[in-house]
Amino acid sequence: MTMHHAGLAALVRRDPRYAYEAYEFVFDALDHALTQLGRKSPAQDEDLDGGEQHVTAVELLEGACDLAQRDFGLMARVVLRMWGIRRTDDVGQLVFNLIDANLMNKNEDDRRDDFNGVFDLAQALSEGYAIQFDEANL
């Protein structure tokens, strides 16, 4: 269980389009994006109030795709669909549900529309996937 368990459970009841795991994935994607961008080290404490803890919609979406491919490989699209995430718009809805529940912070410039139709999520998850070969074992 995460520290946000009660809040996330309430969000799932309020908006049943998205699974509990979808919200956890958005938190993980935020951490992943921050780490990729060099704004957070993997061991850094969670502090979402710092200015350097902010990512743009595009940065979060790219981090989410990278994380999904890393964790789920060729099944990434299927797993996200099971959780209700089919389009970039869904990620935006999840983010703003978390913001509305005071579980995530936003800058005054952040807009829900920033996530709408950014790219074809299904295509990015399937076509963007490259199988990594370990050359030492070939």
What is the torsion angle, in degrees rounded to the nearest 10, for the CA atoms of residue 28, residue 92, residue 98 and residue 34? 30
- Enter the tokens of residue 51: 């200015």
Task: Assign 137 a pLDDT band (cuts: 50, 70, 90).
Answer: low
Handedness of CA 26, 29, 35, 36 (dihedral sign): negative
Amino acid at 126: S
Q: Over the chain, what HEC string results?
A: CCCCHHHHHHHHHHCCCCCHHHHHHHHHHHHHHHHHCCCCCCCCCCCCCCHHHCCCHHHHHHHHHHHHHHHHHHHHHHHHHHCCCCCHHHHHHHHHHHHHCCCCCCCCCCCHHHHCCCCCHHHHHHHCCCCCCCHHHC
d(CA 97, CA 80) in angstroms, rounded, equals 17
Q: pLDDT value at position 77? A: 94
Q: pLDDT value at position 98? A: 95
Highest mean pLDDT among 16-20, 45-49, 123-127: 16-20
Q: pLDDT value at position 49? A: 45
Q: What is the mean pLDDT of residues 26-55?
A: 74
Q: pLDDT value at position 26? A: 96
Q: Which residue has the tokens 């999520």?
A: 121
> Has residue 130 got a pLDDT over 90?
no
The pTM (predicted TM-score) of the whole model is: 0.82
Task: Assign 51 a pLDDT band (cuts: 50, 70, 90).
Answer: very low
pLDDT digits (tens, 9 = 90+) for 53-96: 789 999 999 999 999 999 999 999 999 999 999 999 999 999 99
Average pLDDT, the chain: 85
